[in-house]
Structure 1
Amino acid sequence: MEHDELAAWLRLLETPQVGRVSARRLLAAFGSPQAAIAASTAARREVVGSGPAAALADEPETLAALIASTVDWLASGSEPRHVVTLGDPLYPATLLNIEDPPLLLYALGRAELLQASSFAIVGSRNPTPQGTDNARAFAANLSRAGLTIVSGLALGIDGAAHDGALQGPGSTVAVIGTGLDRVYPKRHLDLARRIAQQGLLVSEYPLGTPPLPENFPPRNRIIAGLARGTLVVEATLQSGSLITARLATEAGRDVFAVPGSIHSPQSRGCHALISQGAKLVESAQDILEELQPGAAAPASPPAEASDRPEPLLDALGYEPVSLEALVARTGWSASALNTRLLELELEGRVARLPGQLFQRIAAG
């Protein structure tokens, strides 16, 4: 993109009082940011009203610094960097079908993944260990089948999905709610670096944008819009993941959900989605068959020695259970159960949950 064109886009999108709706109307009326800025205030007023029309008449004080930092960012680093606008060959066609497509995207990494066949995996920031394992396993298997996994780089399910997706050729796209020169949360700094090298980081927010709470819900429409379908692994009834699922439905995309314990708050969002028509899934194969009839997920690896029969695992089942309930189910003493549960926990076959609960972890 030429310097003058970049400057015009940034002026249109970052001028105070000119939001996404007004910018879209100006582009529709005048054809380009340069033409919208060059038009008279009176001509712009007929399209967007007096406030946005007058605001564009004067260049924002911070614009020059933003342009300079963006030009420097594009020219720096070892990973490819792009500014992708409507009409750019790199702009994903899937986003054109959503109600509020982003007008400009910053991209760091493999920009060709914007055109890939994608699938979103989202969920709780505070998942159970089983939920984390499920997200990673679903993402890995779908990525091995060639789907690019889209998520939001948040803690919990998002991070596990990105990590799993990097295990397959489909790789991953992280849609973030800050500028691409920031990583939030900080705990995902290493994950973000891996994604920049092997996948793609995307944001509609300009460089320097900090993690503002109001910016994260809007980015969910991009996650849902990029993907052919969305899987919710774990979510409470107040989870932002349900926003993503609703946006996916509004965009005409399939929504899938993993069921869980009726006693777990982290399962209630998924159960609500299923009751509203989301597809219940238990494996990546369920999703692949829905998206590509007849397709099968990659075969599971050979069973490990740790998959040997274990009576206590049978007693646990797959729902969270208390020590007292296990005493009643097995007839073992509490001390004997604690010893064996610790061994299974160290083997990665049982998770210890808050509230003195235990849960069996399914094999990936």
Structure 2
Amino acid sequence: MIKRYESNPIIKPDDILIDNDELEVFGVFNPGAAKFNDEIILLLRVAVKPKSEKGWIKIPIADKTDSFAIKILKWKKTKSLKILDKDARFIDINDKRYLTSISLIYLARIRDGIHFDISKEPALAPSNEHEVFGVEDPRIIRIDEKYYITYTAVSENSFCTALASTEDFKKFEKLGIIFPPENKDAVFFPERINGKYFSLHRPTVSFIGRPSIWISESEDLIHWGKHRIFLTPNNTKWERTKIGAGPQPLLTDKGWLIFYHSCGDNQTYSMNLILTEKNNTQKIIGKSTKPIFTPRYKYEKVGVVPNVVFCNGWIAKDKEKILIYYGAADKYVALAETEIDLLLSSLKRV
């Protein structure tokens, strides 16, 4: 149903240049995608970390005191230093939590779907107190003649959903926080429906329940209300842990086609499908009975986080075909292709 590009991955950490000898790029993944003029634009999540130094712990954060720069915090390893590092993605030092890396968003321009030019500087970088630990997982939604970018902003105050916009992918305007902590995986439907904008997003729960996809309404894309549950994880090995929205919903002659990710047993990430009515985004009329896209190849199974396929961006190549740009093992960008009719035929009526 989904055919991977034979030369995957198409973008690797070595393809990103960063002008800082103290840092190294170890992951480029989870791109947002959009058509712009005769190009395909990818906004790439680029993860960087300090180069290791024996006897020291080093943590990167954005420097808020100047134009964007990365500052490296250092602690000498001693017996008195209190450290907890049960997860490679974060570390607790003297009862304060830090991320072990920082993410930036770079821009890639692609003319033929495969070959690309990558910006030398971040297109979106941390610039305020909500982004000190990084900016992550962009999704691009075109509404009229403007492109909106939802992304995760991370700081010592947790993670939340922020919004930016652009008309040319040269200048970006940050519009602020639209969903407060802890919330991520936000994406808009690309047009008004019955006079309203709609967003899917994923609040995080810790006390009761499992992380689920919610839907909300807005008049202006900034202020959101009428929040309600959209889809909850089912109790299968593929999604019993959590689910979250993927790229922007795609309008077909059958309704809105929605790609979403799930995390199940062994922390494996897969991709799934649902279909909603065209004029009622809350009415789910079709759903895949099992994942349609799961980790299969080495570049999807071995990386920074193993066993991950994660899609923030797909492109309708024409009326029949879709290009899927996805993150593989939190380390690479890969490409796959499918057909709309094949996706629709995989859905079971609900």
Task: Specify the TM-score bucket, using the shorter chain as the normaliser.
Answer: under 0.3
Of structures 1 and 2, the one with the larger relative CO (CA 8 A, separation 6+) is 2
Structure having the higher strand fraction is 2
Question: Rg: which structure is higher?
Answer: 1
